[in-house]
A and B are shown apart, each in its own frame.
Chain A
Amino acid sequence: MKSGFVRELLGRSDYAIIGEIVEPQTKVLDLGCGEGELLEWLASNKGVDARGVEISGAKVQKAIARGVSVFQCDIDEGLADYPDQAFDYVILSQTLQETRHPRKVLREMLRVGRKAIVAFPNFGHWRMRMSMLFSGGAPRTSLFPYEWYESPNIHILTVRDFEALAALESLVVERRYFLAGHRKVEWQPNLTAEVAVFLVRRG
Chain B
Amino acid sequence: MSDESTRFDRLPATPADSESDDRPTREGVLEYWSDRFGVDPVTFEGYTFWERGSGKIWAFADAFDLDSPVDIEGLGMSFLRTRREHWKPTTDAAQRFGRAADACVIDLSADEAAAFMAGHDQEIPWDGDWGYLIVTHELAGRTEPIGVGLYLHGELRSQIPKGRRREF
Query: Real complex partners, A and B?
Result: no
B interface list, Cβ under 8 A from A:
none
A interface list, Cβ under 8 A from B:
none
